[in-house]
Amino acid sequence: MPAPDLPFGGTIARDALESTAFWQPRITPPEGAPNVLLIITDDVGFGAPSTFGGVIPTPALDRVAEMGLSYTNMHSTALCSPTRAALITGRNHHSAGFGVISEQATGFPGYDSVITKDKATIGTILQQNGYSTSWFGKNHNTPGYTTSMAGPFDQWPIGMGFDYFYGFMGGDTSQWTPGNLFRNTTQIYPNETQEGFNLITAMADEAIDYMVQLDTIAPEQPFLVYYAPGGTHAPHHPTPEWIKKIEDMKLFDEGWNKLRDTIFENQKKLGVIPQDAELTPWPSDLLKNWDEHTPDEQKMFIRQANVYAAYLAYTDHEIGRVIQAVEDIGELDNTLIIYISGDNGSSAEGTLVGTPNEVAMFNGVEVPVEAQLKNFYDLWGSEYTYNHMAVPWTWAFNTPFKWTKQISSHFGGTRQGMAIAWPKVITDKGGIRNQFAHVIDIVPTILEAANVSEPSVVNGIAQSPMDGTSLVYTFDAANADEPSRRLTQYFEMFGNYAIYHEGWMLVDKVTRPSWVTAGPQDPTPSKPDWELYHVAKDWTQNHDVAAENPEKVKELEAIWWQEAERNNVLPLDASVVSRLVTPRPSATAGRTEFSFPGRMTGISNGVAPSILNASYTFTAEVTVPEGGGDGMIITQGGRFTGYGFYINKGKPTFTWNLLGLKILSWEAPDVLPAGKHSLEFAFTYDGIGAGTLAFNDFSGIGKGGTGELKVNGTTVLSQKMEQTIPFILAWDENMDIGSDTGTPVNDKAYKIPFAFNGTIDSLKLTVDRPKLGEADKERLKAAMAAQN
């Protein structure tokens, strides 16, 4: 691909009247090729939706299952970007460069967040076979350092074979005030003009409008719609109406232990787990039972679960609108609908007690339940929270399995419910399929359904063979019980790994709970403590039989290392949040001095200069108008963490928002008169160099320092900042100059866009990163020697 142009098929004489015109024929898909609606939700555990035994109503997923088939043995990679890279390429996630999420990319082939050109996506393949292709919602498969107007755009959706993109760049976003929302490559801020905007609904509207227009203009042309809403990744942002609906159902009042029992019973009734499947035990050594919590704690936890459930129900409802639109344009019968419930298991990234701000969790801060109740109970799910539920709910939503998102060795992190419908082809309506499958199987399934061959060359690049196996064989009722054609599949995430082979599963014992993301990590993940499960008979990985089967352990271990080497899994790395500060190529990498224009918005974190764990100085030359100055000079981040340098009612101010929990400001005492002024904010950092992170040394991270605000060369305020943000600012916000997009860093001080009413004549930033002294180098050598 692409197919070469044909030779000119007409005739050319000296005069047009004696010549015959010729037009290149349009490429069309094979006759009968279906439309494809590929849906994947986010962070949904196997036991959350009603289709797979959950108590949360998901009628759209139910509908797809009733029109077609439910798949009970479908697997993800245990994390967002990796699953999605595998899903759209048909290759294993490390082979596609996504061993971790793009924000944690490191400079190794399996982890650099680059889908190389020898792995064309399903968008490219179908586009070059005559399909209209589009992508709505989450894009977590573009390197963070290319998410700017400078590109390059070959790793954006429009560069990966999708004609149209409407969605957000990155792992998640506020559904109320998305700061990283794009139409193709243009950043947009519809929430600023649309009252009551919520991206879950707006995205469905966009997809429906797109399909209706396609059907009107080219009804004969099939479409691929890749539909990937932010639900139910944090922040959990349903509308108040959906929260009320779920609260009235009282689904969670009896707590998480009872919830597991209810889900497990439902799963047996529905037949989505075998009748002899066992419910894995509650991990009482890690998580408290419901009745061990106080009434106040239970009240807060119930609120968290209600909002999460409302978010899932709301997301599924809007997906239902998209499916209904396919029927309304008369295309349901010949549309292959693939609805994957979650890109990994339910998420434990909310801490043991939940959090009103997920950004706080990723910076190692836990918000006590008492503070949640006092400050955030009624706001939970609104634009004023970036909320996530407590881990015990997460564990319950992964019923009947153990563990959660991030854990690739156990099904709580990787088992996803899936439903597939193709009304004119799949006649076993409501059937259940138990064959072992993986997200890499989806692209081959679509290609076989469309009668499109896997390409060997795309745009002149020889293609690596796909790792997936088509599931079309399972569509026939006669093959309902046929053995799985996927015999082997490896898993790896953050140095935790497993190998499935012919009904057995060898897994690396979990040593880091998924909710522990910071602090020392295992320096030698290549030395596993093996567990063995005969999953053909032990559906839930409940009985470790490694001791009884040493030869099987040895056999599978050899297969694991073979697969790891073949798929770019090495080198193994058990670090988690420390990878967030890994140096990466970008427009700002290695630079220490920056000059900015007077007005510029939408500079993503991936290309903005970082001032974390460093000393820095902002210097602004401004002209204040008659009547007084007001507005933003420069900001990065917003309501949930970030900084801003601005003039507020005439007074120069520098503000740090510390994870939405504390606001620290340096405000000049006097109002600036009209005219030119020099403003400076200098911060002197107390920490040492941060280059030791790979060796489990966090001593240089998140330390305090002293900030000094100067006006026209005179210090007007100096104060200590006891701690700083260690790892990451709010990822769905931008760096803005001259105004503020997204949310304010201080809601009490100003409202967006807070455009500066004067002139920014000059704006400079100098960053001075700490260096390792001799004593630090000796300590580092000792740490390295100890780990080796």
Tell me what pLDDT residue 698 has: 64
Q: Computed from CA positions of residues 230, 234, 239, 245, in that sequence, does the dihedral angle turn out positive or negative?
A: positive
Token pair listed for 203: 């995205």
How confident is residue 699, by pLDDT bands cut at 50, 70 and 90?
A: low
Q: How confident is the model over 481-529, as pLDDT tens digits? A: 999 999 999 999 999 999 999 999 999 999 999 999 877 778 889 999 9
Tell me what pLDDT residue 770 has: 83
Cα of 52 vs its chain's centroid, Å: 23
Q: How confident is the model over 282-335, as pLDDT tens digits? A: 999 999 999 999 999 999 999 999 999 999 999 999 999 999 999 999 999 999
- Judge whether 417 and 52 are in contact, CB under 8 Å: yes
User: Cis omega before residue 528 (within 30°)?
Assistant: no
How confident is residue 664, by pLDDT bands cut at 50, 70 and 90?
A: very high
Please state which CATH number belongs to domain 489-579. 3.30.1120.10
Cα–Cα dist 79/412, whole Å: 12
How confident is residue 692, by pLDDT bands cut at 50, 70 and 90?
A: very low
For residue 644, which of 709, 569, 732 has the smallest C-alpha distance?
709
Query: Is the model's pLDDT at 691 over the cut of 50?
Result: no
What phi and psi values does residue 444 have, to the nearest 5 degrees? -60, -35
Tell me the pTM: 0.95
Query: Is the model's pLDDT at 787 over the cut of 70?
Result: no
Cα–Cα dist 515/176, whole Å: 26
Q: How confident is the model over 128-145, as pLDDT tens digits? A: 999 999 999 999 999 998
- Judge whether 336 and 226 are in contact, CB under 8 Å: no
Token pair listed for 92: 């294993």
Q: How confident is the model over 207-240, as pLDDT tens digits? A: 999 999 999 999 999 999 999 999 999 999 999 9
Buried b (16+ CB within 10 A) or exposed e, 148-175: beeeebebbbbbbbbbbbbbbbbbbbbb
Measure Cα distances from 162 to 87, 159, 486, 488, 721 in Å.
15, 7, 29, 31, 47
How confident is residue 581, by pLDDT bands cut at 50, 70 and 90?
A: confident
- Judge whether 706 and 720 are in contact, CB under 8 Å: yes
pLDDT more than 70, % of the chain: 96
Query: Is the model's pLDDT at 386 over the cut of 90?
Result: yes
Query: Is the model's pLDDT at 2 over the cut of 50?
Result: yes
Give the mean pLDDT of the chain: 94
Tell me what pLDDT residue 584 has: 86
Tell me what pLDDT residue 589 has: 77
Tell me what pLDDT residue 150 has: 84
Q: Which region among 411-420, 427-436, 572-581 has the lowest average model confidence (pLDDT)? A: 572-581
Instruction: Calculate mean pLDDT across residues 27-35.
Output: 94
Tell me what pLDDT residue 580 has: 85
Cα–Cα dist 437/611, whole Å: 44
Instruction: Calculate mean pLDDT across residues 388-407.
Output: 98
For residue 598, which of 737, 754, 739 has the smallest C-alpha distance?
737
How confident is residue 696, by pLDDT bands cut at 50, 70 and 90?
A: low
Q: How confident is the model over 674-686, as pLDDT tens digits? A: 999 999 999 999 9
For the chain, give every domain's residue range.
35-484, 489-579, 586-775
User: Cis omega before residue 513 (within 30°)?
Assistant: no
Token pair listed for 453: 């061959």
CATH class of 35-484: alpha beta
* CATH of the domain spanning 586-775, picked from 2.60.120.200, 3.20.20.10, 2.60.40.420, 3.40.50.2020: 2.60.120.200
Token pair listed for 340: 């994957």
Q: How confident is the model over 35-83, as pLDDT tens digits? A: 999 999 999 999 999 999 999 999 999 999 999 999 999 999 999 999 9
Tell me what pLDDT residue 523 has: 82
Give the CB-side neighbour count of residue 284, counting CA atoms within 13 A: 6
Q: How confident is the model over 160-203, as pLDDT tens digits? A: 999 999 999 999 999 999 999 999 999 999 988 888 999 999 99
Q: How confident is the model over 322-375, as pLDDT tens digits? A: 999 999 999 999 999 999 999 999 999 999 999 999 999 999 899 999 999 999
Buried b (16+ CB within 10 A) or exposed e, 554-586: eebeebbeebbeebbbbebbbbbbbbbbeebeb
Contacts of 743 (CB under 8 A, 6+ apart): 174, 177, 179, 383, 638, 639, 640, 733, 752
Residue 696: how many CB atoms within 10 A of its CB?
17
